[in-house]
Structures are given as structure tokens and as C-alpha cells.
Amino acid sequence: MMRLTTLAALLSFSIAARAQKFENLAMTPPMGWNSWNTFAVKIDEKMVMDMADAMVTSGMRDAGYIYLVLDDGWMAMERDAQGNLVPDPQKFPHGIKAVADYVHSKGLKFGLYNCAGTKTCAGYPGTRGCEYQDARNYAAWEIDYLKFDWCSSEGINAREAYATMSKALRKAGRPIIFSLCEWGQNKPWEWAAPIGQLWRTTGDINPLYDGIKRYGNWHANGVMTIVDLQADLARYAGPGHWNDPDMLEVGNGMSQPEDRTHFSMWCMLAAPLISGNDLRKMSPQTTAILTNKEAIAIDQDPLGAQGIRYSTRDSVETWVKPLQNGDWAICFLNRSLNPKNLSFDWGKENIADSLVHSALNVHSTTYSLHDCWQGKNVGSTSAPLAATIPPHDVILLRLKK
Ligand code: GLA
């Protein structure tokens, strides 16, 4: 009898050890909206429903932003007597399932946040030790996406903690995108592909073009600071497993060229596009940036290659990204505070991506140059590209065969 029990325990252990994430989720980088960047913990049922409506009326849903994710602050301060997570009764008087139902009724998907540690970053109950129970509740509430943070995680092994939650989600049986938010501290790009669909690569973003912003004992990163930290990570990204340079700050205070740059670079990086602005009162300029179809097509390209930095010349960086049909995306990024004249002679360059064994051969093929922000053709690779890039702005091109 004893031996049978041991055998059963061993068997279930080895099944758990082999359990992997749900496959065929997030085959292109996830797109959606998350509450944190605008609302922090000041979230409630009405705001979520209004935001779901706004995702539809603004055109965001139809542009591909499908996931509405509630970040930190949705829970009550204590679990119930059975150890279940409880939604804050003031903020969510009808519970989370009702909110998820509403979001689903709009043709959207719904996500929640929790944390691998004992408490979330805002001090609500974390999941440590309750992984399977929490996963069962998430599945019962019909959520589609879980962002899993890394506060109060002292003494915890990151890989094990995230693997446990991944297995718990798998066991709960509902396909849920698993978004690791471990800030890149333990190089999740080296181990998280079997565990989740995306992993944060850095600390938090801020609506700041470059540098870092200090808040007491922590700091947040500007967009360019984050871009620099992605440059060596391209080999780790692909369909179903993405580097996540954090949510978007488009519409949250940077200048229009800076917002355009931020969005262009996230598309070049095949980054998840999770907007973080108040969609109920977006300016037409912000809407135009977030819903630019050609930029989004670069991000969502099925090949799933993350762009690489090809050159840096006089403060202008050239980033390149091979696309599935043999097209290429090219982004000229002016990081300086001065306008920069660009003269780019395609015939003298040697653009290639060894990770996907692809090369841009302008000697055998003439590509037309489509400017994604101007929405028009600006020439071909048979002549050098001459243009002026305003300060903190970009030129985003799709080279078409
Ligand atoms: C961390 C995460 C953020 C956000 C907050 C919530 O800082 O990195 O994205 O989820 O916690 O408290």
C-alpha cells in the first residue's frame, strides 16, 4: 500500500515537472490595455466597463488591442476564510466574473494581476503558496491573461516560482496567457520560454524619453533607456515567447514625436503593445499613433523576429527587422535634440539578420520604401534615401519587395 502511494506521488511529481505552458497562445505579441500607468490602484468596475466601451468606440479593439488587463489594486486586503482571493467589495461589488463577462461581451479578453511573492507591489495578498487555488479561481472567473509580479519575493527562486504558477494555470485547464513581470532580474529570457508567453526585461517604464526618474528608493526608466536594454535580446523572442519592455506610455505626457518614437521602437522590437493611457479621452494624435495599421503590422508580423540595431551614426540609429514575406522594416531613430540629415545609400549597406538567416539584397531586388507615418511611398532602394529627421523623432519604413 505504502509503495503504491509512493509510486503515485512520484508519477504525479514527474507529470508536474513536465507540465508546460499552454501552447499556441500569443503567436504574435499580445496587444491590449492595462490599468496601471494611468490609474495605479484607483480602479473600479465602472472604470473597467467604460474602458471596455472605449476600446471599441476608439477603434483600438479593431486595431488589435484585445486584452483588457486589470493591474494591482483589484483585491481586498485579506483572503477569505477558505484562503480564496477576494475582489475589493467597494471597487468590484459584483465580483470579477461579472466584469470579465462584460469585457467578453465587447469582443475583448480579460486579464488580471497578481504577484509571485507574499504581497503585491501595492501590498495586496500575493500568490506565494496559493498558486493552484488562485489559478482555479482565475479559470472560474474566465480570465484570459495573468500578469505575475515579483514584489515581496525575498528568498524565492524566480524560475521555480514562475514555473509553479505556470503549472497551476495549466492544471486549471483554461488557456491563460502568462505574463512574467520579474523585471529582468534573473534573466528570464534564458529560462521563461517554456513557462510563459512574455517576460518583462526591465524595471518600470515612465513617460520620459531618456534616462531614469527617481522615486525615493526605486526608479523608473525612460523609453530610450529601455530600448538600449533590449539590443542584445533579439535571439530570445519569437512566436509564443516575447521580450516585454513594459507597457506603452503613448498619450501619457511625452511630445508627439517622442510618442511616435516610443511606439515605432516597440513595433520594431516585436514588443507586446499594451497601452496604458486613458482611452476615454485620447487626443486624435494619440489615437492615430496607437492605431497606425502599418506600424502595428510590423509589430504583429508572423515571423516574430525582434528588430536589431544595425548602426549608430551621429546620434541616428538604424534598426532593422525582417518580415515574413521578405519585406523589411527599417527605423531611423534620431536620439539627439537637433534635426539630423540622413543620407542612406542602400547599395553600400549590408543589412542582414543572422538569427533568421535573412539579408536585404538591394542588388538583386529593388524594394519600394513605404513611410508608415506619412502613409505614402517615398522612393526605392535604387537611390539613396535623403531626409531630415526632427529631434527625438523617427522615420519608420516598410521596404516592400
Ligand atoms: C510593479 C510592476 C508594474 C505594476 C506595479 C503594480 O512595479 O512592474 O508594472 O504592475 O508593480 O504595483
> What is the per-residue pLDDT for 33?
98
**Residue nearest to ligand 1 atom 9, measured at CA:** 204
For ligand 1, atom 4, name the residue with the nearest CA.
36
pLDDT at 15 over 50: no
**pLDDT, position 221:** 97
**Ligand 1 in reach of 369 Cβ (< 6 A):** no
Give residue 7's pLDDT band: very low, low, confident or very high (50, 70, 90).
low
With CA atoms as reference, report the closest residue to 299 among 310, 287, 290: 290
The residues facing 342 across adjacent strands are 387
* CB of 181 sitting under 6 A from ligand 1: yes
Q: State which of 271, 299, 327 marks the end of a domain.
A: 299
Kindly state the average pLDDT of the residues 174-186.
98
Give the whole-number percent of the chain exceeding pLDDT 70.
95
Does some domain include residue 3?
Answer: no
Q: What is the pLDDT of residues 83-141, one digit of tens each?
A: 999 999 999 999 999 999 999 999 999 999 999 999 999 999 999 999 999 999 999 99
Q: Do 271 and 352 share a domain, yes or no?
A: no
pLDDT for residue 252? 98
Distance 284 CA to ligand 1 centre (A): 28
* Helix, strand, coil percent values for the chain (each to nearest 5): 30, 25, 45
**Residue 56, pLDDT above cutoff 50:** yes
The burial class, CB within 10 Å (0-12 / 13-18 / 19+), for 77 is exposed
- Which residue's C-alpha cell is 514584489? 151
Whether residue 7 lies inside any domain: the answer is: no
How many domains, in total, are found in the chain? 2
Q: Could you tell me if 254 and 328 lie in one domain?
A: no
Angle in degrees, CA 306, 289, 349, rounded to 5? 40
Regarding whether 267 and 241 lie in a shared domain, the answer is yes
Q: How far is the CA of 122 from the centre of ligand 1 (A)?
A: 8
- One domain, residues 92 and 167: yes
Summarised one tens digit per residue, pLDDT across range 354-364 is: 888 889 999 99
| Cα–Cα distance, 278 to 149 (Å, whole number) | 23
State which ligand 1 atom lies nearest to the alpha carbon of 183.
Answer: 8
Same structural domain for residues 128 and 276? yes
Task: Using the mean position of ligand 1's atoms as its centre, give its distance from the Cα of residue 150 in Å.
Answer: 8
The reply to whether ligand 1 has any atom less than 6 angstroms from the CB of 204 is yes
User: How many C-beta atoms lie closer than 10 Å to residue 231's C-beta?
Assistant: 14
Within 13 A of 264's CA, how many CA atoms are on the CB side? 27
Q: Is the pLDDT score of 197 beyond 90?
A: yes
CATH code (residue 174): 3.20.20.70
Lowest mean pLDDT across 6-10, 317-321, 337-341: 6-10
Residue 20: predicted pLDDT: 85
Determine whether the shortest distance from the Cβ of 182 to ligand 1 is under 6 A: no
Task: State the pLDDT at residue 355.
Answer: 86
What residues contact 108, with CB distance under 8 A and at least 6 apart?
32, 52, 55, 56, 61, 66, 67, 68
Of 299, 328, 359, the residue at which a domain comes to its end is 299
Distance 39 CA to ligand 1 centre (A): 12
Among 299, 329, 355, the domain boundary falls at 299
Is residue 19 scored above 50 in pLDDT?
no
Top mutation candidate among 124, 150, 181, 183 for ligand 1, by most atoms within 8 Å of CB: 181
Is 5 part of a structural domain of the chain?
A: no
Structural domain of 248 = 12-299
Q: What is the pLDDT of the chain when averaged over all its residues?
A: 95
Say yes or no to pLDDT of 2 above 60. no
Question: Confidence class of residue 146 from pLDDT cuts 50, 70 and 90?
Answer: very high
Residue 9: the pLDDT is: 47
Which range of 1-10, 13-22, 247-256 scores highest in mean pLDDT? It is 247-256
Which residues make beta-bridge pairs with 69?
34, 111
Return the active site residues.
Answer: 149, 204
pLDDT given at position 353: 87
Report the predicted TM-score, pTM, of the whole model to 2 decimal places.
0.95
